[in-house]
Structure 1
Amino acid sequence: MNKKVIYFIITLMSVTLIALMIIQVYWIKNAIMVKEAIFNRDVGDAVSNAIYHLEHIDRDRMHRLKRNSLRNTKLNFIHKKDSLEVYLTDNFTSFSQDHKTQQNLHSFQSSGQFIQNIFGQPPKDMLKIENRVSIKLMDSLLKVEFREAGIKTKYEFGIYTPKYRKMMLQKTGHYPKELLASPFRFLLFPGEIFGQKNQLMIYFPNERSYLITRLWTLLAASLVLILTIIFSFTYVISTVFKQKKLSEIKNDFINNMTHEFKTPISTISLACQALSDKDVAKNPSVYESYVSIIDEENNRLSGMAERILQSARLQKGEIKIKLEKVDLHHLITDAKQKLDLLIKQKGGVINMDLPIITISTRNISQGIIISIKDNGIGINKSNQKKVFDKLYRVPTGNIHNVKGFGLGLSYVKSVIEKHHGKITIDSELKKGSTFTIYLPLKKI
């Protein structure tokens, strides 16, 4: 796939994802605003009901106080008559007699006090907010109404008197400034015309978090949806790049395999043409050399094909490890002897002690450590993580002087892991690499 097409798709998907997230945030914000409006309405209804009940309680209290006050008033002018109407008639009739003027005047003043006790304003002490409302009563009324309205969050209330510009009562006294700034303000005793205009103020310390918790289902669903979209987007993009990288590796593998197979095939073809020459057939030594070349190249082709097939079977899990008791040092020495000629042709040396290619072993409590160290060109950090990937070859630019299919280290890692071991690499450019293999010991 063309890079421009890939980047265009990524840009388009990114813009779409951002737009979806913005829309989701917008709807969540609107939902919170709706919940806030419903919350304000419920608070208003609940507090209004609490004030209504408080007003009834206060009115009953006032009536009881007036009734007790009337009982304590001495009405000497009533005598044995039970009716106020009869009393007033007798007083106004006797008021015209001169010798009883002072007595009647005193009786009339007493009747005025009686009427004042019935219809007049209560004493000022009775109208003080501290004497009319208690913190416990107000809190009890609010708690009941909030519970019935489904409002289950911490609240603070206070009673403010504008005349004194002072908060007369508070539930805890911890939020005086917040109460004064709160939008929840309600008039206490709204039925009174001439009384003090005391205000009941409500403040909810956890209002925002409470509203959000009431939307947790919507928020959780939105969060899951957004995370799913982000995960899907990331997965698709990573898959596209992996497929692109895999395509490049596949093409590189095919090119390398074609090159690797082409060389022995060409050699065999040339040897066969030489063998068809009658002069070559007459010379046994030359004839045998060409036959030997054909055999070597054929073995080389067979070995390359076998490595590819083994790698495929190993990846599919078709290879089963059969554990046997072996002498590890003998295996290392045998491998050295097989590769010694090839290493010498390239000007290298395999030495068990001296540096060039150094192989060492070390016993530990539960296994053995094998270290293979060289002083070659080294591998940079970014490529060290990929050298064990199948078909991966360290890039060398336009220089194609490295043979192989990128299967060797992948095959080694798979076999080591089959033995429940592990392999690591420590390398630095221009200083060489060290491969460390750990194999656990197991009794068989």
Structure 2
Amino acid sequence: MANKFKLLITLSVLTGIGMISILAIWLYGSYNNRLELFLSSAERSMFNVVQDVYQAHSNDIKREQGGALGTLRKNLRSKYTDAEIDTLFKDLVSSYKGRPFRGDAGMHQDYKQKHLNGKSGGELMAPYLFSQIKISDALIAEIKEKFHSALEAKGVRADYEITTELFPRDSLFAIRKEYRAKKLSWTRPIMIDAVESKFLIVKFKHVWKNLLFDLGWQLGIAILLVSIFIGSFIYLFKTIFRQNRLAEMQKAFVNNMTHELKTPVSTVMTAIEAIQLYGVRHDHEKMDRYLAISRNELDHLSDMIDRVLQLDVDEHTGLKLDKSQVDLIQVLKDAANTFGINVNKQVLISLDLDIPFLSINADISHLRNVINNLLENSVKYSGDPVDIKIAVQEYADHVEFTVSDQGKGIAPEYQKEIFEMFFRVPEGNLHQVKGFGIGLAYVRQVIVQHGGKISVKSSLNKGSTFIIKLPK
């Protein structure tokens, strides 16, 4: 059985680890996808902002433009609009990409050598856009302001900074690879000055906060699934351990019951055998003694059978109660007066009953059994003489009576378990007090079916007090 439990626990743990790992991989992949989408959106916003800035300053460029391009633009204005001329120039630059422009006196020689004959380094902005725009602090500030407005329009509230960096175009891929390897949430460089190889980079800080907010539903589902699994796992093993413990207690109960039933039967058989085989029938004194022994053992056997029969074997219907109006004070007095007759200890029961009459709706037979069980426990687990106190209190909607003793007491860790079926407080390999662990389980069952509650206050070597609350 232990090996099966170990195997079950191992398989469950491995299943849990596998499930959590799959969810973690799923969330990590979703996070990376969101990060890529977030950075791509930021890059598009910056690209659009830079284009808008170029368009805003294009008139200044056109006015200051000289050389062949300036002359060509002046000649074309008689037939075409500025927008059509801009489109024509862009197509012209695209078709001649990789070769210098002849006659473009306004284009810097360094630019023609470094960029038009070079290969693209992965920047977002085409070099020709800012080839003749003067990059100033005011222009950078304008780009930053418009980019901030673009992010606000998309509902992005991220912490970031926009920096300008200088590095060769052919090193862009290596630079991007480096900061991606460092898990930096930076956008791709956007060229703003082709001559000086100046780029704009948006550096986001703590972007994970925004991404986790976007992943809220996925994260919620993952947490829910993990919580359900862990809860089910805990509940499963609590149930398994409880059932295993119950099986052990039932086994101990059967062993104890077998021994307890076998002892009186063996004693009676021995007495009868002595009467039949050894001529005791002619010795009236011995015969009476053997018959008295047999009668006591049979009474003990009958008492044990009654205790077992008191328990309800039907968990669905419970005990069958025959309720009527009962005077609780009288029931307690009768129990106190008759209980000490059949015990082998000196029992002193004191009654603290200030109320002369207290009527409750209860099954008198089961109520008497409850009181007798509590008194018997006090006697069994106390020394000699036994001092028991019974007290009653009346409240607006219920009554409360207590049974207190000065016995050996119950350890705190067992005070809830004593009401479970077959449970007995551990005392090593041998219990000094005989019993089956069913008495208090029966008491709780009766009280609960009456709509009441039972609890215990106890300290080791100082005694126990059982508190019973019953509705009126």
Q: Distance in 2 between matches of 1:62 and 1:156?
A: 34
Q: Distance in 2 between matches of 1:7 and 1:133?
A: 67
Correspondence for 1:418:
449
Q: Distance in 2 between matches of 1:139 and 1:351?
A: 89
Q: Deviations over 1:120-150 (max 9, x none)?
A: 9xxx999755379747971587259x74xxx
Q: Distance in 1 between matches of 2:295 and 2:228?
A: 59
Given the alignment of the two structures, is residue 31 of structure 1 paired with residue 30 of structure 2, yes or no? yes
Q: Distance in 2 between matches of 1:298 and 1:292?
A: 10
> How has the CA–CA distance of structure 1 residues 28 and 279 changed in structure 2, closer, same or farther, with 3 Å as cutoff?
same
Q: Distance in 2 between matches of 1:155 and 1:385?
A: 55
Report the alpha carbon displacement of residue 432 of structure 1 after superposing the two structures with TM: 1.1
Report the alpha carbon displacement of residue 390 of structure 1 after superposing the two structures with TM: 0.8
Report the alpha carbon displacement of residue 250 of structure 1 after superposing the two structures with TM: 1.1
Report the alpha carbon displacement of residue 218 of structure 1 after superposing the two structures with TM: 3.6
> How has the CA–CA distance of structure 1 residues 380 and 156 changed in structure 2, closer, same or farther, with 3 Å as cutoff?
closer
Report the alpha carbon displacement of residue 254 of structure 1 after superposing the two structures with TM: 0.2
Structure 2 unaligned segments of length 5 or more: list them.
66-74, 76-105, 108-131, 167-183, 353-384
Report the alpha carbon displacement of residue 433 of structure 1 after superposing the two structures with TM: 1.0
More moved, 282-291 vs 329-338: 282-291
Q: Distance in 2 between matches of 1:29 and 1:56?
A: 40
Correspondence for 1:42:
41
Report the alpha carbon displacement of residue 361 of structure 1 after superposing the two structures with TM: 1.6
**Mapping for residues 282-431 of structure 1, pairs under 5 Å:** 294=294, 297-313=297-313, 315-343=315-343, 345-352=344-351, 356-431=387-462
Aligned-pair Cα RMSD in Å: 4.1
User: May I ask how many residue pairs the two structures share in their alignment?
Assistant: 363
> How has the CA–CA distance of structure 1 residues 436 and 193 changed in structure 2, closer, same or farther, with 3 Å as cutoff?
closer
Q: Distance in 1 between matches of 2:144 and 2:202?
A: 15
Give 1:248's aligned amino acid.
E
Decide whether the 8 Å contact of 2:61 with 2:133 is kept in 1. Answer: no
**Mapping for residues 148-227 of structure 1, pairs under 5 Å:** 152-155=155-158, 183-184=186-187, 187=190, 190=192, 200=200, 202=202, 204=204, 207-227=207-227
Report the alpha carbon displacement of residue 158 of structure 1 after superposing the two structures with TM: 6.5
Report the alpha carbon displacement of residue 197 of structure 1 after superposing the two structures with TM: 7.8
> How has the CA–CA distance of structure 1 residues 211 and 137 changed in structure 2, closer, same or farther, with 3 Å as cutoff?
closer
Q: Distance in 2 between matches of 1:125 and 1:401?
A: 102
SS at match of 1:222: helix
More moved, 425-434 vs 14-23: 14-23
Q: Distance in 1 between matches of 2:426 and 2:270?
A: 32
Q: Distance in 1 between matches of 2:133 and 2:42?
A: 31
Decide whether the 8 Å contact of 1:187 with 1:199 is kept in 2. Answer: yes
Report the alpha carbon displacement of residue 340 of structure 1 after superposing the two structures with TM: 0.3
> How has the CA–CA distance of structure 1 residues 138 and 198 changed in structure 2, closer, same or farther, with 3 Å as cutoff?
farther
Q: Distance in 1 between matches of 2:209 and 2:440?
A: 56
Correspondence for 2:13:
14
Decide whether the 8 Å contact of 1:376 with 1:433 is kept in 2. Answer: yes
Correspondence for 1:272:
272
SS at match of 2:326: coil
Give 1:52's aligned amino acid.
Q
Decide whether the 8 Å contact of 1:158 with 1:200 is kept in 2. Answer: no
SS at match of 1:368: strand
Correspondence for 2:83:
none
Give 2:210's aligned amino acid.
Y
More moved, 152-161 vs 39-48: 152-161
Q: Distance in 1 between matches of 2:245 and 2:189?
A: 70
Report the alpha carbon displacement of residue 281 of structure 1 after superposing the two structures with TM: 4.8
Correspondence for 1:138:
146
Decide whether the 8 Å contact of 2:40 with 2:187 is kept in 1. Answer: no
The structure with the larger Rg is 1
> How has the CA–CA distance of structure 1 residues 45 and 305 changed in structure 2, closer, same or farther, with 3 Å as cutoff?
same
Decide whether the 8 Å contact of 1:154 with 1:204 is kept in 2. Answer: no
SS at match of 2:389: strand
Decide whether the 8 Å contact of 1:161 with 1:197 is kept in 2. Answer: no
Percent identity of paired positions between Structure 1 and Structure 2: 29
Give 2:417's aligned amino acid.
K
Report the alpha carbon displacement of residue 56 of structure 1 after superposing the two structures with TM: 1.6
**Structure 2 length as normaliser, TM-score?**
0.64
